[in-house]
Amino acid sequence: MSETALIERIAARGDGVTGDGRHVAGGVPGDQIAADGTLIPGPNRAEPPCRHFGKCGGCELQHVAEPALADFVRDRVVGALAGQEVPVGEVLPALLSPPQSRRRAALTALRTGKQVAIGFNAAQSNQIVDMRQCPLLLPELFALIAPLRDLLTTIAQQKRPVKVKLQMLDQGVEVTLEGVKAEGLDAAMALQDFAGTHKLARFAIDQGHGLETLWQPEPPTVCFGEVTVEVPAFSFLQPTTAGQAALVDAVAKAIGDAGAVADLFAGVGTFALSLQKGRKVYAAEGARDAIAALKASANRVGALVATEHRDLFRRPLIPAELNRFGAVILDPPRAGAEEQVAQLAASDTPVIAYVSCNPASFARDAKLLVGGGYTLDWVQPVGQFRWSTHVELAGRFSK
């Protein structure tokens, strides 16, 4: 072994990796490993901003300085494509969401005696790290942690986990609690008082019999472009507004001035409604409540958006359908869209804008598209889950 070994990159799970392939927990590019295993800090280290770092599983990379963090996000995409031997015209510099910008979070709470712990799970564990600080969440979300801890002392069952879902909407914060027991007048009044005191946009609980909305002064909404959508409870939204803007901008750049566009896995309309102006859009989504919300909003503003409730895994669009469009937007779940991609690869669709939250499944699908005659022109990496190994991206394919 040489006197020192240089850490050259960060692996997919957050370990530092030396040139000879050794993985070093907590290593950062530029660090050196001495012959006795001691880590010698390099220029790319940062002071973690959170007291829970190292224990909480919400962040793995707070010790990495901003330039190296951006390089990691970009390198995840480069590495995934290289692993599938997919050629790419350009991988752009990564765009990172800033601290305190996460607008949605799913936490866990546990009551033990008179104490309630609430937060993310510890790394690779079911243990809850009781959140007393969080540089990830929007301040409006974090401000509810202590009040929720107090509330759950009355409605959380002993030693039974409660799912706590928080999301920022136009009217304020939406709170969903799953696995609570709110029986009796005192509990009902406590819930109403909590919602009113904190001016929630919506408050819903699930006591084991389905979700029940307790508080909703007006229909909760979110805006995409110029269109306001009334969203179902804890609808999927991009985790940060900065990340959403980066992905919408990348998709807009990819599809250009295409007059007819298909948005597949459209959700509540992040892309279909943001980009509908001046074009016709077909939007397909397997979640019934999401596509219903998209349809209602498009109809209200007179947008040329045709919607279909369709399971794209079991019934993907076939080439004869895809060939009607000048561009296709694809935003599948983490597992990717192998069934739909196989149909796209056989189509003559000129442009595909593929949005992904998993570089590995994106690279697998990209290989199918390239095999079908497409060229991967460019990829835009996006780091919405700041200080995490979770990476998102948007890429443009052309034929």
Q: Give the three-class secondary structure for 209.
A: coil
Confidence (pLDDT) at 147? 97
Confidence (pLDDT) at 197? 96
Confidence (pLDDT) at 187? 85
Q: Split the chain (399 residues) into runs of 10 and give each run's mean pLDDT.
A: 81 89 90 88 95 92 96 96 98 97 96 94 87 97 97 91 97 96 86 96 93 95 95 94 97 97 97 96 97 96 96 97 98 94 97 97 98 98 95 97
Q: How many residues are there in the chain? A: 399
Alpha-carbon distance 40 to 7, whole Å?
10
Q: Is 48 within 8 Å of 60 (Cβ atoms)?
A: no
Buried b (16+ CB within 10 A) or exposed e, 105-115: bebbbbbeeee
Q: What is the DSSP letter of 201?
A: S
Q: What are phi and psi of 253, to 5 degrees?
A: -65, -40
Confidence (pLDDT) at 56? 92
Active site residue 50: no
How far CA 256 is from CA of 9, 283, 373, in Å, comes to 35, 18, 20
Confidence (pLDDT) at 2? 54
From 56, 59, 134, 357, active-site residue: 357
Q: What single letter denotes the amino acid at residue 338? A: E
Confidence (pLDDT) at 215? 95
pTM over cut 0.85: yes
Confidence (pLDDT) at 361? 97
Confidence (pLDDT) at 283? 98
Confidence (pLDDT) at 1? 43
- Give the side-chain half-sphere CA count within 13 A for 226: 8
Confidence (pLDDT) at 126? 84
